[in-house]
Structure 1
Amino acid sequence: MRIAGGVRVVVAAAACGVLLTSCASGDDGGSQKGDGGSRNAGAGAKGGESAHAGAENPRRIPDVGDRLQSRIPRNSRQVVAVYGAGEDSAKSTVVLYTKSGSKDTTWEKARSWPAHNGKKGWTTDHRENDKRSPVGVFTLTDAGGVLADPGAKFPYTESVSMQAPHYWPKTHWHDFDYVIAIDYNRAKGTPPNDPTRPQGQAKGGSIWLHMDHGSGTSGCVSLSKAGMKYLLRTLDPKQHPVVVMGDRTNLGA
């Protein structure tokens, strides 16, 4: 078990039942069973390029309004922004912003990737199995996956219990090779597939960043394997990373 950058190896399959009712599932034609809590996110971008290049104020995350901007912790120096293409769209763009400058006052775009979110879009009142991703600002503290740690700075749990079942479509079999837990209705400091839901089962949970299978999820945010490896190797607990996610209307509010 690695607590601050090491590996938590969990081989038990006991958590598999939890996984099947959470982030991804192949039982409805290529969507994942992840839960969230809000509708709407920004526009997608092609070829991994950000659609938000012309930010007016480098001290703010582009296209994020005062409501969510104010929820970004002052000590955060890494923000993963998920810009959804629309309230009911499964397409989105993930952009990593980092603080720069000696006074840590300005944000710079580091990388961006095409991505997917909940197959039915976004919601500000996520419920179990609503197939929408939650809008909000959430901390990022724990990671893991079926594959060995690629060099993550987060505590990383390698576990076969995260393996997607093979009765799902083959396109989904590698969804959970790499996972970063989004701290929506979960206990921080636990493996991504820990079943604890502090706000209750009805609010959903197991909202992750994980590998993409080419279509919408059930609430998680998915991107390429290369993108996941980059985030795992770059996001650093010492930089207090958060994810800001939602559709364009809710992000800009």
Structure 2
Amino acid sequence: TKVTILPRGRALGYTMVLPMEDRYSVTRNQLLDQIAYALGGRAAEEIVFHDPTTGASNDFEKATKIARQMVTLYGFSSSVGVVSYGGGGEVFIGRDMAQAREYSDEVAHQIDVEIRKILDNAHDEAYRALNTNRKVLDAMAKELMEKETLNPDDIKRIFKAVKKVPKRKLWLSKTSRPVSRKGPIPIPAKGSTTAKVAAKKRADAKATKEAAKKSASKKLTAKKPVPKKPAPKKPAPKKPAAKKPARAVKKK
């Protein structure tokens, strides 16, 4: 993570967050964290200055887009349900196009209400977290004014004093469904013997597969052996020409 107040393009500053690990999917709580994170700038302006600016407009756009996807694509709304409304350029909050839709005005209104609810809750979360950690917020602002850019080590040092906010309530797509208290199976920690053995097996299987693929490719591209041409026959040795008998000379 890197934070700077140096202008870049149209932005007066920015925060760069690099993922700690590759993710193939994102949980509902992680998306809510992203929305609260995006609304943190506006919440900080409200807490400190009591007079917010227009600088958070791009943050609102990102937050609204995530909230819209949660409701219309990912089934993260208990009232809308696990239905995909992502096609056709819908005309509810978070869309930048207006086209014909395949559902009623009532459903569109319900989607708008859910998006608004997600954004309002995330805004409240951001406000509470920053208000609880006002000293940390001021410490970061002070160091940014002095250094202009904070690296990961600076941020980690400042965040040691952060007070964590309470966890969100358990979410279910339907409140009538029973809550399972049995957790997932244990996952081997990185560096453990079990994890190393599993990683070695995956690596060996991958190497075997690649070797088999290369072998098959070589067989296909290998040239057929060219048959050797028979050696040319040596010409038979010429027989010596027969000598003509000498003519007898008559004596006079």
- Normalising by the smaller structure, the TM-score range is under 0.3
Larger radius of gyration between Structure 1 and Structure 2: 2
**TM-score, scaled to structure 1:** 0.20
The structure with more helix, counted as a fraction of residues: 2
The structure with more strand, counted as a fraction of residues: 1
**TM-score, scaled to structure 2:** 0.20
Higher relative contact order (CA 8 A, sep 6+): 1
